[in-house]
Structure 1
């Protein structure tokens, strides 16, 4: 059994953890939690994006969307494979959990219903993935994941650039720009939630202390805004955040966190801020597309089980 002090000394010396026996139980459990969120997020994005890709404006755009979906499934496979190497039953994890037990961000449970919403998701959600996994890639102490993320980091960058390119195209058409603004209005703040609880409420601290990642939730949220806000402003799109020269930080200009009407895709900012416990309750209940998306993943497995049993 590796002691906590020996593990921390190894990490501080810049040595990577290569196998479970090089770490202790707390490190492995923290690593598993982090990998499950990453794997579930990549996996659920596939049916979420496929749903909206049906609205692609032409065959080339549709093929590009399918390429992104293929990448996301590959990223999910990487994370689930790492979990399997840690002794996790990944078949049960993917095919036997109830939809509400998946650990992907709530944003994916709000259905993407148009090409416009898909490309904003690429620019916002994939940028969040790029920020989060880029941080893990640069700082993680777990060697197998660090090496695997070389490929993932490059592909997530392509996904967000795809979103930026299409947002720039749509912004040139006044009618499509209005549609684009409506998508930004609800998706921007959902992506702010993507980074999790603020630092003073964070429940699991081993991600930082054991070097599983390098930056805190609030720091990563700031990093996401530092590129997203200027990009949207360059297209003449309104976002509820601005840069404060005095503090050197981005400031959110609406109540945050806030109540969200998922069916109408509308933030109820007029009701003022809510607590993060209320946000956690919404996350636990999941959103309107949760059952549909997980069902799309699990359907073939369930059909095969029924065929074998008959």
Structure 2
């Protein structure tokens, strides 16, 4: 889903890069393949930079109040549930565990999702931004619960979730494969640029 404003960009930094930090941080800590593990050192620094940028600006925009904070809340409203999906199928629906068996990563999808929620939800609450999730305690452990059906319907073009309409993971996978409302436009643009490049290259030769 394309980002259309600076506010959406900083929320992407705060949410998407936090997801990247969790996913890649787990690999960096637990991966048994040395070259990949070492290669992530630089990537983790970049993820941390983006994450700090997102958090800093989310806090500033929220503190500004008024229409700026309203815009921030609207961005969070559609980007939070989208980020929750990033970690993939719930553990009870995932058919393969090859990555865990070969120690390419150490945590399951749900464990990674919980890690992300444990960092994002408290921060949003701290800066006064509402998110549809809360913490519960079960058997002495903190568990983060979503306040909506997971998954549920999403209108990518309108950037709007329907929390009253549960969806299926088949629907989610189909949406992922569609690659967003501007996929055809972007593919056409790249194809045109490539065609122009080849045409210019032939003329030079």
Structure with the larger strand share: 2
Comparing 281-290 and 294-303, the one that deviates more: 294-303
Equivalent in the alignment of 1:212 = 104
2:126 aligned with 1:229, yes or no? no
Q: CA deviation at 1:307?
A: 3.3
Q: CA deviation at 1:285?
A: 1.9
2:179 aligned with 1:289, yes or no? no
Equivalent in the alignment of 2:22 = 131
Equivalent in the alignment of 2:170 = 277
2:41 aligned with 1:150, yes or no? yes
TM-score (norm 1): 0.61
Unaligned stretches of 5+ residues in structure 1: 1-109
Q: CA deviation at 1:275?
A: 1.2
Q: Secondary structure at the match of 2:106?
A: coil
Equivalent in the alignment of 1:192 = 84
Structure with the larger helix share: 1
Deviation string 1:199-228 (CA, Å, 9 cap, x unpaired) is 122233211000011101100000000000
Question: Would the alpha carbon gap of residues 302 and 237 (structure 1) be closer, same or farther in structure 2, given more than 3 Å must change?
Answer: same
Deviation string 1:21-64 (CA, Å, 9 cap, x unpaired) is xxxxxxxxxxxxxxxxxxxxxxxxxxxxxxxxxxxxxxxxxxxx
Task: Count residues in correspondence.
Answer: 200
Q: CA deviation at 1:300?
A: 4.5
Aligned-residue Cα RMSD (Å) equals 1.7
Q: Secondary structure at the match of 1:254?
A: coil
Deviation string 1:72-110 (CA, Å, 9 cap, x unpaired) is xxxxxxxxxxxxxxxxxxxxxxxxxxxxxxxxxxxxxx1
2:128 aligned with 1:242, yes or no? no
Q: Secondary structure at the match of 2:149?
A: coil
* CA–CA separation in structure 1 for the residues paired with 2:154 and 2:127: 26
2:6 to 94, 99, 115: 115
Question: Would the alpha carbon gap of residues 220 and 297 (structure 1) be closer, same or farther in structure 2, given more than 3 Å must change?
Answer: farther
* CA–CA separation in structure 1 for the residues paired with 2:186 and 2:87: 21
